[in-house]
Amino acid sequence: GGADRAAAALTAAGVDPGARGESLTVEQFAAIAASAPAALTTGQ
């Protein structure tokens, strides 16, 4: 489902899926933005 795909995108970016958004660094947001499209389309 969508939650699993979102968790996969965060994991692919090296971000803990349980982390709160306000605790993320700018670098982590950039990593999510860079890896999320591939992770969301492939599920990895």
Confidence check: pLDDT of 2 > 70: yes
More confident site: 6 or 43: 6
Read off the pLDDT band of 43 (50, 70, 90): low
Q: Please, what is the end-to-end C-alpha distance for the chain in angstroms?
A: 13
Instruction: Fill in the amino acid letter for 37.
Output: P
Task: Answer whether 0.85 is exceeded by the pTM.
Answer: no
SS3 per residue for 10-31: HHHCCCCCCCCHHHCCHHHHHH
More confident site: 42 or 30: 30
Instruction: Fill in the amino acid letter for 18.
Output: G
pLDDT at 38: 74
